[in-house]
Structure 1
Amino acid sequence: MAQHLIPLVLIAMLVSTQSGSTRIFQLQKSAEAIGSGSIQSSKLKKATRTRAHFQERSLEDILTDQALWGKGFPSALATLPAFARAGEKQVWIFRDRVVGGTKFSNREEADRQARRLSDALKSMQNTSPRSAKLKAYLGQGVEPLRSEVVLFPDDRSYRVAAIGNDFLPERLMMSDVRKRLGKEERTTTELLDDGTDRRPVILTLHHYAGGAIIFAESDWSPIAGSVDRVFLDASKISTTLF
């Protein structure tokens, strides 16, 4: 009888041990799941806070961020109401000029637009910004810019431009932009062809502020990842800030 009881006791002990091990394993897995969930939740909250921080930056905040613009940018920014009044919905900011987005196939049409822009620059010279912050920013120094017609080399179109200097930093990288503004809302490309055998210019466009501000890289730039020009929605910015 004792001989039969010993195997039964061993089996019972083995089952009990396995059952206990199973419970311990299940508890460990539950703890790991809770810990993993806490980590994921923490990461999600951190990412949400980061996105919220960047989204809080208004159009005005971006346009007055001195890390993104050259010391002469207040002069360029002050011309946007004049460009908008002249019918230019978008302008392209380069280091030394503000170029209207409208393309003209002949010089005569562009000359007429340049006269409209010149008149608008004169009549809107004393346009006051809505906010004290922007007024203080423009108060750093706004130089009057002269308008002229340029033959735009990227697509050989005539356009109107306001000429100045230092509108953009000497070297602005997209990595710098992302550090200040976060990841772009979307990225698109634009091809500019001059109609000759020359290789077209391909722009990579990084959209911010609902597309009102677009930082553009050019595949012709000798410095990969650098900002070649910035597109500004003259109509929206003028309506919002002036």
Structure 2
Amino acid sequence: MKKSELKSFLDFKAEQYNTPEFIATDPVQIPHQFSKKEDIEIAGFLTSTIAWGNRKSILNNANRLMDLLERSPHDFVMNHSEDDLGKMANFVHRTFNGLDLQYFIKALQHIYLKHSGIENVFTTYAEAESLQPAIHQFKKIFFELPHLPRTEKHVSDPLKNSAAKRINMYLRWMVRNDNAGVDFGIWKNIQSSQLSCPLDVHSGNVARKLKLLKRKQNDAKALLELDTALRKMDAVDPVKYDFALFGLGVFEKY
């Protein structure tokens, strides 16, 4: 496939899947249950954190999480008691457990109280070409409080060669305004051009078949390679192609 044909093909597929109908099949449906900015941010962050494994299990556990937050994520984070945290002890999604969740709630409160919120952290450390260094800084800030070492594995670090798929997906949700109502576009000080594609098994396999990606591992080096290729096709909104790669992989078994 020629470069011009590939761009036309992926533009078409991105438009095909970046529609309101996509929401019903995706974890993005969880933050869509809320209208307040901070509720969307927190629901999105916690949902993206557990967004690996079986899709049905992700959605069930993310909804259970919202129940534990009493369907008011920001209010719960800011005003929870130790008894409230105790109710989270039995939560589990794969290797993310109640102890991890309890720390995440405390860390989010700390970020809103001491760092002016999640958006401010990413905006402060964003670089013109990339948000990957900002993810690294966010992780450092997120773990400023006393915590179990095991909990750190649930926030990826691109500077340790992680593709950071889940947090890049979260950033897409918050930053990108897709005019279709899937991504929220509520963070106004970061541009879509700075985003990176959420690289996972599906998008990686499709990208390799389309010769957008040569590297075999799904790591930070592969992400840079893929981002470079996608930005050549659309420098303003490169991660719209996440919808194309994901749709081709998951729905069409490309």
> TM-score scaled by structure 1?
0.29
Pick 1 or 2: higher relative contact order, CA cutoff 8 A, min separation 6. 1
> TM-score scaled by structure 2?
0.28
Larger radius of gyration: 1
